Amino acid sequence: MNLMEKERLVRDKAEELEPASAEAVIEWAVSAFSNITFACSFGAEDVVIVDMLQKISPKTDIFYLDTDFHFEETYATRDRLAKRYNLEFVRGVPKLTPEQQAEQYGDELWKSDPNLCCNIRKVVPLTEILSKYDAWITGIRRDQAPTRANAKKVEYDYKFGLIKFNPIADWTSDDVWNYIRKHDVIYNPLHDNNYPSIGCSHCTRQVMPGEDPRAGRWSGKEKTECGLHK
């Protein structure tokens, strides 16, 4: 399938699947693309999709980017999910260890140049993983950030050169938590301690009452995305 054919498919399916349920979007995605993967960060949205995938297509690859800087609670959530569903997550790793990164770029790169840190520890490993697939699934929602407001349930990802599915793009935070409670889905306990959006431990803080849900990410910086989706 060439680029023009992919773009036509995306246009047709984006319109057709916009009113569809998240499960229906995932069902079509995995049936249309056998070589598809899901990017999991172990946040609330992503554990919902892990649960859906295990019911719809349990053999679909699920990967995560191990930046070496995740919270212990995030790694524990990974392990609990793996045990419950009897699955093995594909682990994406940076080329540089934290020690090598510090030696090459200086200590605490996430403070001096957070974009470079994210590029080394997230974007480059993601690019390598996605190069092996024809399509990917994400847990992004439109109301999470202005940069995600126009996300379609099916779109062509020009940055990584493959088709991208955002099955819960039209969900609210309440929709996510209603699903988690209804289906007793394992989730990161940091969510219960004022961490609505969870990234690396160095760049994520608690969100205070009245703040934007993503205010805890790269607090004090102009940065709002790690570079995976924009």
The set of catalytic residues is 226
HSE at residue 93, side-chain half, CA atoms within 13 A, is 7
CA distances from 200 to 10, 61, 135, 209 (A): 32, 23, 25, 21
Question: Residues near 52 by Cβ (< 8 Å), separated by ≥ 6?
Answer: 22, 23, 26, 167
Which tokens in the block code for residue 33? 């693309």
| Host H or E run for residue 39 | strand 36-39
Would residue 32 be called left, alpha or beta, if left means φ above 0 and alpha means ψ between -120 and 50 degrees?
alpha
Round to whole Å and give the CA distance between 226 and 230.
8
Would residue 186 be called left, alpha or beta, if left means φ above 0 and alpha means ψ between -120 and 50 degrees?
beta
Round to whole Å and give the CA distance between 72 and 75.
5
Question: Residues near 45 by Cβ (< 8 Å), separated by ≥ 6?
Answer: 139, 140, 141, 168, 171, 176
Note whether 167 and 36 are within 8 A (CB).
no
